[in-house]
Amino acid sequence: MATKIAQAHGYSGLNLRALAEEVGIKAASLYHHFPSKADLAAAVAKRYWEDTAIALEALSEKTPDASDRLRKYPSLFRRSLENDNRICLCSFMTAEFDDLPEVVKKEVQTFSDINIAWLAKMLVAAEIVAPKDAKKRAHAIFAAIAGAQLMARGRDDIKLFDTLIDNYRAAGLLPA
């Protein structure tokens, strides 16, 4: 539930008392596990990047071809839009970066690092770029997909996300 709240309202939208009420427990119980909003947000962001790392590993295991993995990668971001027009939790929190406690910033940055490292590895495996250029291209892909997700959410239009991804493929940023 905390993840859904953060995906819809970001760090500023997290409220321990409201969350406790939403899940039907006493606020004191939640405060026992998360003494502060920062502790809750850091735990939520950490779980989010851990789940993403698992999803990336599963994608790698289920899809033998690295180019196919890269083609399927945007679907991980599309799922958030399919879930009540949410966006990636870490994208939302990145927009609030200046206001985040350091412990939350660290987890949000880890999410980006994991995605970029995975993308770079896939780009090299697919022989799309040389190892020396992989991280630059991975950054561009990650930013483009996160941006497409943000634009689609702002219009409440998942088809816009699909169109943008198709355009990235046509332009050569992603494999067609």
Asked, for residue 71, whether it belongs to a domain, the answer is yes
| Number of Cα atoms under 13 Å in the Cβ half of residue 71 | 10
Q: Look at the chain and report how many structural domains it folds into.
A: 1
CATH of the domain at 69: 1.10.357.10
Which among 113, 116, 121 is positioned nearest to 66, based on CA atoms? 121
CB atoms near residue 64 (< 10 Å)? 8
Asked, for residue 122, whether it belongs to a domain, the answer is yes
Asked, for residue 52, whether it belongs to a domain, the answer is yes
pLDDT, one tens digit for every residue, the chain (176 residues): 778 877 777 788 887 778 888 888 888 888 788 889 899 999 989 999 999 999 999 999 999 999 999 999 999 999 999 988 888 887 878 888 999 999 999 999 999 999 999 999 999 999 999 999 999 999 999 999 999 999 999 999 999 999 999 999 999 999 99
Asked, for residue 75, whether it belongs to a domain, the answer is yes
Range of the domain at 156: 43-171
